[in-house]
Amino acid sequence: MRLYHVSEEGGISVFFPRKPSRPDLDPEIGLVWALEERCLPNFLVPRDCPRVTYHLPPGMEADPRFFSSRTSRHVVAVEWDWFQAMRDVTLYLYEFYPDSFVLQDAAAGYYVSTRAETPVSVTVVPDVFAALSARNVELRVVDNLWELCRAVQETAMHWSMCRMRNAKPPEGKFPLEGI
């Protein structure tokens, strides 16, 4: 298994545990976060970019409402307002040995370590569009993410919504709690 941390910061030689701010985690235990390769495309965007991501579980057929590609089984959707930032960003993929990491969230592909971690390699990603394409990930660029966000949650696909607090406000009434 390969584990990664994606950053806009290059030259990180050691990742030190940071105390989480999420209410579902112990705020006194610092963590180093990593993700498995399957979920890596969800993070091939600028850190603060709001996105709706989803992929098909094994055996599930693609619904053409959610996929325009016949070969892709994974989608990353962003708003047009973030397109330029995606063109301009350079990302760094830090790879870790998985030995001291434990699974934190299977659906999201998150792993955590409570000790300082030294990356075994770093890969520079100067073009996120090319990186997504190389992984056969469909990029969708939309005016507003909220309609897609609501629709994807009603499916059996594996999905994730990240940084939605940075998305344009939803059209109509829709509760933002928990997103």
User: From residue 1, how far is each of 13, 57, 78, 95 by CA, in Å?
Assistant: 21, 19, 28, 11
The two beta strands, 121-125 and 91-96, are antiparallel
Angle at 178 between CA 90 and CA 162, to 5 degrees: 15
Per residue in 17-54, pLDDT (tens digit) is: 999 988 888 999 999 999 999 999 999 999 999 999 99
11 contacts: CB under 8 Å, gap ≥ 6: none
Residue 41 and residue 123 in contact, taking contact as beta carbons nearer than 8 Å: no
Residue 145 and residue 167 in contact, taking contact as beta carbons nearer than 8 Å: yes
Residue 132 and residue 20 in contact, taking contact as beta carbons nearer than 8 Å: no
pLDDT of the residue at 172: 60
Return d(Cα 111, Cα 124) in angstroms, integer: 22
Residue 78 and residue 141 in contact, taking contact as beta carbons nearer than 8 Å: yes
pLDDT of the residue at 179: 45
Mean predicted lDDT score pLDDT of the chain = 93
Whether 91 shows a pLDDT value over 90: the answer reads: yes
With pLDDT > 90 as the criterion, what percentage of the chain qualifies?
Answer: 84
pTM over 0.85: yes
Listed by start position, the domains of the chain span 3-166
With tokens 């629709």, the residue in question is: 151
State the DSSP H helix or E strand holding residue 7, giving kind and residue range, or none if neither.
strand 3-7
Residue 21 and residue 27 in contact, taking contact as beta carbons nearer than 8 Å: yes
